Amino acid sequence: MKAIVVVDENWGIGRSNDLLFSLPADMKHFRETTREKVVVMGSNTLLSFPGAKPLPKRVNIVLWPGGEKREDCLVFETLDEVFKEIAKYPADDVYVVGGAMMYATMLGYCSEVIVTKVAANGGAEVFFKNLDEMENFRIVSESEPLETNGYTIRFITYRNDRALPLPV
């Protein structure tokens, strides 16, 4: 399993249940990376999408305690149910996409984290773990800086040398 996230220079990821920046190049990267794959998220992330609709051309798995079942995505009430569903797919096809609580819960199980780093302070209220300070994560690839919508970004892939097996 992998995670994909955009962080600001302080590893901030969001404010008011929304992204910190509008980054067309990152949105394209996200679409290309996750299209035809499995995305795993918490209910607030789903609700933050336009019309609270799941991402098209993907299997959307949502952890939503007390949430109602939907026809357009797979909703599970417990983390155990989410793990059982994730186990049905190839690990390299599963991406955790948010929010902060889901990232924190699933990070240890992720073999890779694809990070879009923005060279700016987004005034975040919620944060991602600083992978540069975690001894089991190391950078395995890093793009050249890219300008998008007035921001400089880099795509960086971190490998987790001690990823945990899914508890199924």
The mean pLDDT of the chain is 97
Query: Is residue 46 one of the residues assigned to a domain?
Result: yes
User: Which pLDDT score is estimated for 24?
Assistant: 98
Query: Is residue 146 one of the residues assigned to a domain?
Result: yes
Say how far apart CA 64 and CA 79 lie, in whole Å: 9
In order of 1, 28, 108, the CA distances from 161 in angstroms are 13, 28, 10
DSSP secondary structure letters along 95-126: EEEE-HHHHHHHGGG-SEEEEEEESS----SE
Query: Is residue 160 one of the residues assigned to a domain?
Result: no
Domain enclosing residue 113, as ranges: 2-6+26-154
Q: Is residue 128 predicted with pLDDT exceeding 90?
A: yes
Q: Is residue 18 predicted with pLDDT exceeding 90?
A: no
Query: Is residue 14 one of the residues assigned to a domain?
Result: no
Q: Give the CATH number, domain containing residue 40.
A: 3.40.430.10
Query: Is residue 35 one of the residues assigned to a domain?
Result: yes
Q: Is residue 104 predicted with pLDDT exceeding 90?
A: yes
Query: Is residue 125 one of the residues assigned to a domain?
Result: yes
User: Which pLDDT score is estimated for 17?
Assistant: 82
Q: How many domains does the chain have?
A: 1
Query: Is residue 100 one of the residues assigned to a domain?
Result: yes
* Choice among 30-39, 66-75, 80-89 with the minimum mean pLDDT: 66-75
User: Which pLDDT score is estimated for 68?
Assistant: 87
Average pLDDT over residues 3-14: 98
Asked if residues 46 and 58 have their Cβ atoms less than 8 Å apart, the reply is no
Percentage, residues of the chain above pLDDT 70: 100
* Other beta carbons within 10 Å of 100: 20
Percentage, residues of the chain above pLDDT 90: 96
Query: Is residue 12 one of the residues assigned to a domain?
Result: no
